[in-house]
Structure 1
């Protein structure tokens, strides 16, 4: 089904992702989840345009899995308060829209979810400096 070269490239990409995950801090891991979900949606849109039903469904399934099992599962609803609850509701909405996009073959719904993820990703990047500063402060406190 795939050429030997394609299999090698896939293995190389997997190692790169696994290495990135193992060396990432929690903030970076969430960023990687946003990026992975958006990449899956981009693949789904490409497959939708080409009429590839199976690969489209697989890509949308991957995006749903990242949203529910990655982003939504990482929320701490007890500690996160209202923000975590709102994100939980938004992730639920996104996963439903992705499922609906697959059923209805709707590029507009895929674009909608991608836009929501892009907004969250941008905000997450924006707080990165604050997270790094807090981590350095905590590390300095622990060394005292």
Structure 2
């Protein structure tokens, strides 16, 4: 049961968002989790590192399984998502931030690409720039 106003807002936001906005929200979550995982590595907090990098991997897996393979770009995105998952596993196992930082760079670039694409298509409107 959702009790906090923030959680109610988040749930409502997800339920009423268009596909472009949902995709950007997934990227935002993955970026936030990778950053927290990097923070865990830098702090020497192995549990934090593991928890957050696994959450980022779960989002990347979701992005992978929801790809529409009728588009040519899906093949490249699938390979990139697979590579990002590899980087996050390496970061988690080796506790070396540079792997996660590389994955973070890809996530940030992809998020910005989708923000621009949604603006061009008019499907996202002003919300993408607010994130």
> What TM-score comes out, normalization by structure 1 length?
0.78
Alignment match of 2:65 (pick from 57, 69, 73): 73
| Cα-Cα RMSD | 1.5
Larger Rg: 1
Give the structure, 1 or 2, with the largest relative contact order (CA under 8 Å, sep 6 or more): 2
Which residue number corresponds to residue 97 of structure 1?
A: 87
Alignment match of 1:114 (pick from 104, 114, 117): 104
Q: Distance in 2 between matches of 1:65 and 1:72?
A: 10
**Unpaired segments ≥5 residues, structure 1:** 1-7, 134-144
> What TM-score comes out, normalization by structure 2 length?
0.86
Which residue number corresponds to residue 28 of structure 2?
A: 35
Deviation at 1:130, TM superposition (A): 3.0
Higher helix share: 1
Task: Give the total of aligned pairs.
Answer: 121
SS at match of 2:122: helix
